[in-house]
Amino acid sequence: MSESKKIFLTETDIPRAWFNIIPSMPEKPAPMLNPATKKPLTAEDLFPLFSEEASRQEMNTTDSWIEIPDEVRDLYKIWRPTPLVRARGLEKALGTACHIYFKNESVSPVGSHKLNSAIPQAYYCKQQGVTNITTETGAGQWGAALSLATRMFGIDLAVYMVKISYNQKPYRRSIMQTYGAEVIASPSMSTKAGRKIITEHPNYQGSLGTAISEAVELAMSTPNCKYALGSVLNHVALHQTVIGLEAEKQMEIAGEYPDVVIGCFGGGSNFSGISFPFLRHNLSGERHSRFIAAEPMACPKLTRGAMRYDYGDEAGYTPLIPMLTLGHNFEPANIHAGGLRYHGAGAVVSSLKENGLIDAVDIPQLESFEAATVFAKSEGIIPAPESAHAIAAAIREARASDEAGTPKTILFNLSGHGLIDMASYDRYFAGDLANYTVSDEQIAANVETLPEV
């Protein structure tokens, strides 16, 4: 390889199809269930909620490749293909013999990977004449991405933003408003789900689960309105595979193949996006890479959750998903990686984890910020607090490989930049941040309340 650190592709290298991992899985995830009938869900059951095409993609267990519409691919060209970077600065800072690469998804106009799915979701809604979309957002990244995507197609958007982030990250709210979206702090008094939780817990700072309930409720009660979700579901993970498909080509140009692939983990979309294209070579027996999902210690569904049917939201409006979960009533600590404060993992990732095909680690908040500052100083990019979990896991991996005397090629996804999260960095520098963990009793008590199916 030359001295150049970045490996660029051209527009013609943007994938023409997304990769659907389900047909390649030796053991398929259990079906999602209709919450009313508790019967296996059909695509038609999802039509009231999502666009018909997104619903069909959600239930597609047979097609490994799903074509990316030209209109979507053209919009991807605004910032894709994203660079793959050999992190020589970070390698030097760590003094590691490992080769560390990262895929830089922070270069999208909204600063994260979320636009990869926001655009196709808005496009499929537009195609069937939808005029309004509702959604939720944690740290504001998904809301910002969908605000831009809906603007591209002339659709109106209402965003329920988790209250703690609404107050911690006012600029993400401004970004959504710049693109013309309406932003409401959640829990709010505008929905039944919001009013109920405010009545019971007046100081509740919100969670993704509650915000989803509010957005779903508004979508179901508004004509010609659909709901869009930024993570967890199969079709969202599917759209994100452009990340790994590009990275696969770029690693080939670099003349390397990753021994370890790492993504931070909220509901699983960027982890799935970077991992699944590489994981398919494990499933076919050609390769033996390790895949590591990095979640926050404050919200450890993959490492400590229970494999159960659970709702995707707090009020229980969504289909029942077979997931590794902390329970949909779980109230995560107010950590600054708002995009990782979600109670459960998507069905596919949960099943892969249960079958030992992927690993997970939980990262304490302070370790994530320490890793973020090491990365910023050595690579120049200030990472999102979410992405910092992937960096922390990559640093752990590099140190362990060096100690074992077996240097590895490590690839992680930089899911977003942190330029709008500087208030969180300020709190870290001021020594105001703490580590949060959850007791086994807390998890068990939460999981106990899950519906019997």
Ligand X SMILES: *Cc1c(COP(=O)(O)O)cnc(C)c1O
Interface mask (CB under 6 A) for ligand X, residues 346-385, using x and -? --------------------------------------x-
Position 177, amino acid: Q
- For residue 440, the minimal CB distance to ligand X (Å) is 24
Can residue 425 be called a binding residue for ligand X (CB under 6 A)? no
Count of alpha carbons within 13 Å of 225, Cβ hemisphere only? 18
Rg (CA), the chain: 20
Give whole-number Cα distances, 198 to 173, 315, 335, 354, 373, in Å.
21, 13, 21, 36, 37
List 386, 395, 408, 409, residue binding ligand X (CB under 6 A): 386
Looking at the DSSP assignment, which residues form a beta bridge with residue 363? 296
Interface mask (CB under 6 A) for ligand X, residues 265-304, using x and -? xxxxxxx---------------------------------
Question: Please, which residue, 254 or 349, has the CB nearer to ligand X?
Answer: 349
Alpha helical stretches, state H, 50-111: 52-59, 70-76, 88-94
Q: Retrieve residue 315's tokens.
A: 């009020």
Question: Please, which residue, 81 or 143, has the CB nearer to ligand X?
Answer: 143
Can residue 142 be called a binding residue for ligand X (CB under 6 A)? yes
- For residue 115, the minimal CB distance to ligand X (Å) is 10
List 329, 387, 401, 409, residue binding ligand X (CB under 6 A): 387
What gap in Å lies between CA 20 and CA 236, rounded to an integer? 11
Can residue 72 be called a binding residue for ligand X (CB under 6 A)? no
Residue among 206, 221, 203, 239 at smallest CA distance from 72: 239
What gap in Å lies between CA 137 and CA 144, rounded to an integer? 8
Interface mask (CB under 6 A) for ligand X, residues 238-267, using x and -? --------------------------xxxx
Tell the burial category of 385 from Cβ atoms under 10 Å away from its Cβ (0-12, 13-18, 19+): buried
Can residue 114 be called a binding residue for ligand X (CB under 6 A)? yes
List 82, 112, 165, 241, residue binding ligand X (CB under 6 A): 112
- For residue 322, the minimal CB distance to ligand X (Å) is 18
Contacts of 168 (CB under 8 A, 6+ apart): 336, 338, 423, 424
Q: Retrieve residue 214's tokens.
A: 């509010």
Question: Please, which residue, 179 or 198, has the CB nearer to ligand X?
Answer: 179
- For residue 140, the minimal CB distance to ligand X (Å) is 8
Question: Please, which residue, 213 or 270, has the CB nearer to ligand X?
Answer: 270
- For residue 131, the minimal CB distance to ligand X (Å) is 26
Question: Please, which residue, 198 or 323, has the CB nearer to ligand X?
Answer: 323
List 415, 424, 443, 447, residue binding ligand X (CB under 6 A): 415
Question: Please, which residue, 134 or 415, has the CB nearer to ligand X?
Answer: 415
Q: Retrieve residue 176's tokens.
A: 């959504």
Run of H or E residues at 216:
helix 208-220
Report the Cα–Cα distance between both ends of the chain, in Å, rounded: 55
Question: Please, which residue, 35 or 339, has the CB nearer to ligand X?
Answer: 339
- For residue 253, the minimal CB distance to ligand X (Å) is 25
What gap in Å lies between CA 11 and CA 15, rounded to an integer? 9
- For residue 118, the minimal CB distance to ligand X (Å) is 11
Total of chain residues touching ligand X, rule CB under 6 A = 21
What gap in Å lies between CA 79 and CA 244, rounded to an integer? 16
Contacts of 201 (CB under 8 A, 6+ apart): none
Q: Retrieve residue 152's tokens.
A: 């591209």
Question: Please, which residue, 368 or 409, has the CB nearer to ligand X?
Answer: 368
List 108, 141, 150, 350, residue binding ligand X (CB under 6 A): 141
Question: Please, which residue, 254 or 337, has the CB nearer to ligand X?
Answer: 337
Residues 87-106 that bind ligand X (CB under 6 A): none
Contacts of 405 (CB under 8 A, 6+ apart): none
What gap in Å lies between CA 280 and CA 286, rounded to an integer? 9
Binding site for ligand X (CB under 6 A): 112, 114, 139, 141-142, 231, 264-271, 339-340, 384, 386-387, 415-416
